[in-house]
């Protein structure tokens, strides 16, 4: 089977690593890929926003399955373009991608079909939004409607902050034209990703991301500073509840709206007092959740993705290693604000020798030397019998990797270990 992978971040490196374990894999390409993905796939420097060029590439290289990592090409209709050309793809179509691309679409869908989530109101007028905020009081959550790279959400602790947040939404361009004001939910967050063929769903084991830049969940929101799996906050009772009350009803709700959702559905959850509610849906694998979930998956991912794309999961089941996985993200100093690029990276080989898998998130090769090329640079990933062992192993490995101003959280998985 010839495969084309779209994307070049840490999530896509983990996907490439897992896909490459399938014995039936034929030619394997990635656009744009990364120095890490280049270990498995031939990387081509092309825009992932040009659907016509991507369809052409897939045709020219006799691709049997296109696997799409990031949300932007899904929201941009890449799967629809591929499907029109008769090319199979793992990922959802443009209509389905609204579940991530428009918070309002997702919230209205949940409300209509009784899927548990925070109460909300939608405004396209700043003054009306402010009046509502004054009426509800703080804490309260203000969100921009469209894709804002994870930055369009402000959890306001005071009324002043909330009113300021309403004004700030205007700075998100078209994403900020409409504003969602949402009830604040307390509790602990977790991510449950599920593979689906449009009918059946196979939930993956739960993971927990660490979205804030600094230890103790302080600092700014980021794309994710580290993750671990399984996440004990999703026990067997919660897992069953998520499957029956959230994942299955969401796929069915989309179907009732005339949308067949195939690919990976990511439910970002808030769990409190034995109840899970949806914070957000994403239309793709999580980053860095994928980096900790896939190392624990025993089943063949490429076979599963191909079956989802074909709309026929059949009676496939998932099997899991009885271990824990941790991913510590090493980021550029300053991230998620301005940071330097092109800083030489040392110690990756040494870290691998300590038993870690290093997923490249933002790196490039310059004259054969590995340098930084993004906010999130590397994901130092380990598995072990216990979470504590996996954490110790990950930090031993991270500590031997160096680039100027490298920053990583020291408390990845600490919450789960306190519970153990
Ligand atoms: P989102 O992009 O919708 O996932 O929001 C980003 C982050 O903001 C989430 O991961 C939560 O930590 C927080 N958040 C979003 N909505 C709420 C809410 N209704 N209550 C509490 N926290 C929230
Ligand atoms: N880990 C958060 C995300 O993938 O959106």
CATH number for the domain that contains residue 29:
3.40.50.20
Question: Ligand 2 center to residue 192 CA distance, Å?
Answer: 11
Distance, in Å, from the CA atom of 199 to the CA atom of 312, rounded to the nearest integer, reads 9
Write down the residue that tokens 């192993």 correspond to: 393
Ligand 1 atom 11: the closest Cα is on which residue?
Answer: 279
Cα–Cα distances (Å) from 3 to 44, 197, 418, in that order, read 13, 18, 42
Q: Say how far apart CA 313 and CA 334 lie, in whole Å.
A: 43
Q: ∠ CA(205), CA(209), CA(215), 5° rounding?
A: 145
Q: How far apart, in whole angstroms, are the C-alpha atoms of residue 92 and residue 103?
A: 17
What is the number of domains present in the chain? 4
Is the domain of 165 the same as that of 204?
no
- Which residues have C-beta atoms less than 6 Å from ligand 1? 118, 141, 150, 153, 155, 182-185, 189, 211, 268, 279-280
Residue 37 to residue 17: CA distance in whole angstroms: 8
Q: Do the domain assignments include residue 44?
A: yes
Both 193 and 247 in a single domain? yes
Per-residue pLDDT tens digits of the chain, which is 420 residues long = 999 999 999 999 999 999 999 999 999 999 999 999 999 999 999 999 999 999 999 999 999 999 999 999 999 999 999 999 999 999 999 999 999 999 899 999 999 999 999 999 999 999 999 999 999 999 999 998 766 555 578 999 999 999 999 998 877 666 557 899 999 999 999 999 999 999 999 999 999 999 999 999 999 889 999 999 999 999 999 999 999 999 999 999 999 999 999 999 999 999 999 999 999 999 999 999 999 999 999 999 999 999 999 999 999 999 999 999 999 999 999 999 999 999 999 999 999 999 999 999 999 999 999 999 999 999 999 999 999 999 999 999 999 999 999 999 999 999 999 877
Any atom of ligand 2 within 6 Å of the Cβ of 347:
no
Of all ligands present, the nearest one to the C-alpha of 286 is 2
Eight-state DSSP code of residue 245? I
Residue 90 lies in a domain: yes
Best residue among 74, 289, 329 to mutate for probing ligand 2's pocket (most ligand atoms within 8 Å of CB) is: 289
Same domain? For 194 and 299 the reply is: yes
Each residue of 181-196: b (16+ CB within 10 Å) or e?
bbebbeebbbbbbbbb
pLDDT of residue 170: 75
Q: Do 319 and 128 form a contact (C-beta atoms < 8 A)?
A: no
In a domain, residue 107? The reply is no
Instruction: Determine the residue of 121, 280, 288 to mutate for testing ligand 1's pocket, defined as the one with the most ligand atoms within 8 A of the Cβ atom.
Output: 280
Distance (Å, whole) CA 359 – CA 308 = 25
> Which range of residues forms the domain containing residue 50?
3-94
Q: Decide: 280 in ligand 2 pocket, CB within 6 A.
A: no
Which residues have CB under 8 Å from 387's CB, separation 6+? Answer: 228, 324, 326, 413, 416, 417, 420
In angstroms, the first-to-last Cα distance of the chain is: 43
**Residue owning the nearest CA to atom 8 of ligand 1:** 153
* Assigned domain for 340 exists: yes
Are 284 and 253 contained in the same domain? yes
Domain end among 114, 147, 177: 177
Is residue 51 domain-shared with residue 164, that is, in the same domain? no
DSSP at 238 = H
């Amino acid at each position: 089977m010839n495969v084309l992978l779209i994307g070049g971040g840490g999530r896509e490196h983990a996907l490439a690593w897992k896909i490459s374990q399938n014995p039936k894999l034929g030619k394997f390409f990635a656009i744009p890929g990364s120095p890490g993905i280049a270990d498995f796939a031939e990387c081509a420097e092309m825009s992932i926003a040009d659907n016509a060029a991507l369809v052409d590439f897939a045709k020219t290289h006799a691709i049997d399955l296109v696997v799409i990592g990031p949300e932007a090409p899904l929201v941009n209709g890449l799967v629809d373009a591929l499907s029109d050309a008769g090319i199979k793809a793992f990922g959802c179509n443009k209509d389905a991608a609204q579940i991530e691309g428009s918070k309002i679409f997702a919230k209205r869908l949940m409300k209509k079909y009784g899927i548990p989530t925070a109460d909300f109101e939608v405004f396209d007028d700043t003054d009306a939004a402010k009046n509502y905020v004054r009426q509800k009081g703080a804490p309260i959550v203000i969100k921009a409607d469209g894709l804002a790279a994870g930055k369009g959400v402000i959890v306001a602790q005071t009324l002043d902050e909330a009113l300021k947040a309403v004004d700030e939404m205007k700075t998100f361009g078209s994403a900020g034209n409409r504003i969602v004001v949402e009830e604040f939910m307390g509790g602990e967050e977790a991510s449950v990703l599920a593979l689906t063929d449009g009918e059946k769903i196979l939930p993956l084991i739960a993971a927990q991301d660490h979205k804030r830049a600094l230890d103790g969940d302080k600092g700014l929101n980021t794309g994710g500073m580290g993750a671990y799996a399984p996440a004990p906050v999703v026990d067997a009772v919660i897992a069953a509840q998520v499957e029956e009350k959230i994942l299955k009803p969401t796929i069915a709700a989309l179907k009732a709206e005339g949308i067949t959702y195939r690919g990976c559905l990511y439910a970002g959850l808030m769990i409190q007092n034995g109840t899970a509610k949806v914070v957000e849906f994403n239309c793709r694998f999580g980053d860095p959740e994928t980096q900790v979930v896939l190392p624990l998956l025993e089943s063949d991912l490429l076979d599963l993705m191909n079956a989802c794309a074909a709309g026929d999961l059949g009676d496939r089941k998932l099997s899991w290693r009885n271990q824990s996985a941790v991913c510590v993200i090493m980021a550029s100093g300053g991230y998620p604000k301005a940071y330097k690029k092109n800083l030489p990276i040392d110690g990756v080989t040494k870290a691998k020798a300590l038993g870690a898998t290093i997923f490249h998130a933002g790196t490039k090769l310059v004259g054969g030397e590995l340098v930084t090329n993004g906010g999130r640079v590397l994901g130092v990933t380990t598995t072990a019998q216990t979470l504590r062992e996996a954490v110790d192993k990950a930090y031993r490995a991270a500590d031997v990797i160096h680039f100027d101003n490298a920053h990583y959280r020291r408390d990845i998985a600490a919450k789960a270990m306190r519970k153990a």
